[in-house]
A and B are shown apart, each in its own frame.
Chain A
Amino acid sequence: MTVQKTALTPSSRAEKPFLQRHGNKLYMIALSLFTIFWMLPIIWTLVTSFRPEIHIQANVATLIPNPFTTENWTYVLNSSKIPPGCSTARLSQSHIPSCNWPFAP
């Protein structure tokens, strides 16, 4: 029985077409590429968060943050404390001195 099995397996593998043998792998590669494409807006936003503010303002889109900086993350995590009583509407109008951007750390 064992001999029969070992004798059959290679030949049956050889008979299988390429797509059937590697179908799942190819499917996963195609799916991964499509997932990257689908997630591109989020990836791009993440990349942008590692670019200096001055480069972002210069309106130049790139997928590689060069120069790379963590200043935006540091700013968000350490110093962007919105004073109490300042809503986003007030922030956009910024006519209230204590609500003016940037806030004191």
Chain B
Amino acid sequence: MASISTGTSEKESFALSKAWRETLVGYAFALPFIILYAIFTLIPIIRGFWISLHKWELVGTNIQFLGASNYQRLLSDKLFWSSLEHTIFFVILSGPVLVVVGLLFALMLNRKIRGMGFFRTMFYMPNILSVAVVGLIFARVFAPDDGGLINAVLEQVGIESIPWTIDKNLAMPVIALTTVWWTVGFNMLVFLAGLQGIDESLYDAAKVDGANNWHLFRHITIPSLRRPMTFVMVLQVIASFQLFGQVDVITGGGPSGATRTIVYYIYERSFDFWQLGYGSAMAFILFIILFVLSMLQLRLQERDA
């Protein structure tokens, strides 16, 4: 009896040690990545949080521990709330358009016709340009004077020039339009990959059952694109909340702060006013907002699936 129990425990301990060995080998393989991730991501995040608890000037001078004061100050900072409002407005304005237009472009280019590769390249091309180039192009396209492309066209048809980038109500739509033109190619590519992964036999079977094009789209294409859709939407929300370059180049946060987004405000506080501690506190709030939103989106999509 005693010998049997010893045998079982030996087997158990061997199995346990094997599992441990496998775990350790797994960690050993992941170690190079973990070290680099810690050095270049985790430590800067922790350092950023540490800075957010201080009064910290840009060059690291005049450092004072403030505790949660920077976070308390945020609550009463009107510019912070207005920049958050502008950012949310931009997300609402550009997010759905980017998803819908990306899907439309993918559907439009998902045909087996010769030369389709050329058109796919053309629609993806804006995506390879840097934000500075895109910003400069659209600053000229939407220039409020007669030198702008849109105003020149409007003038030709007898419509007065529109002050695109200097009108408080139009500046943010211009930024959104620029962003759509610049980044929709990526969404198109993701949807295109999703569309090409759909089994053709599903469409054939549905056609035999008498389904029309709308039925095929509604009951086969859309459900099959659920995963790419989640991917695009999560990335889109994160990217839209981080809007900075287009604003910096086209409007500089104006007119009257109408396009001052949260990242632009973080930049202003940190690098124009040298308030790195306060800027870091805002960056952490943005991180929490994005984390919660991403989790929420993923949960909702999982529940739907």
A contacts, CB < 8 Å to B:
24, 27-28, 31, 35, 38-42, 44-45, 48, 56, 58-62
Contacts and interface: CB of A to CB of B under 8 A. Distances in A.
A27 B109 CA distance: 11
A30 B277 CA distance: 54
B119 interface: yes
Contacts of B111: 27
Interface string B80-111: 00000000000000000000000000001001
Contacts of A24: 113
Nearest to A43: B149
A80 B146 CA distance: 29
Interface in B119-150: 119, 122-123, 125-126, 137-138, 140-141, 143, 145-149
A38 B122 contact: yes
Q: Is chain A's binding surface mostly helix, strand, loop or mixed? A: helix
A14 B123 CA distance: 36
B138 A41 contact: yes
Given A24-B113, A61-B147, A61-B149, A44 B126 contact: no
B240 interface: no
B126 A42 contact: yes
A62 B152 contact: yes
Contacts of B115: 28
The residue among A45, A58, A60 with the most chain B CB atoms within 10 A of its own CB is A45
Nearest to B105: A38
Contacts of B143: 59
Interface string B139-177: 011010111110110000000000000000000000000
Contacts of A27: 111, 113
Contact of B123 (A35, A40, A58, A61): A35
A56 B115 CA distance: 36
Nearest to A31: B119
B147 A59 contact: yes
A39 B149 CA distance: 13
B141 A44 contact: yes
A37 to B, nearest CB: 11
B137 A41 contact: yes
A36 to B, nearest CB: 9
B259 to A, nearest CB: 19
B166 to A, nearest CB: 15
Interface size class of B (residues with CB under 8 A): 20 to 34
Nearest to B122: A35
A45 B146 contact: no
Given A35-B119, A35-B122, A28 B149 contact: no
B105 to A, nearest CB: 9
Contacts of B113: 24, 27-28
B137 A61 contact: no
B10 to A, nearest CB: 68
A59 B122 contact: no
Given A27-B113, A61-B151, A38 B140 contact: no
A79 B149 CA distance: 29
A45 B152 contact: no
B186 interface: no
A60 B148 CA distance: 8
* Closest 3 pairs (CB-CB, A-B): A59-B147, A61-B152, A41-B137
Nearest to A62: B152
Contacts of A44: 137, 140-141, 149
A48 to B, nearest CB: 8
B141 A41 contact: yes
Contacts of A58: 147
A8 B88 CA distance: 63
The residue among A40, A42, A61 with the most chain B CB atoms within 10 A of its own CB is A61
Nearest to A48: B140
A55 B123 CA distance: 30
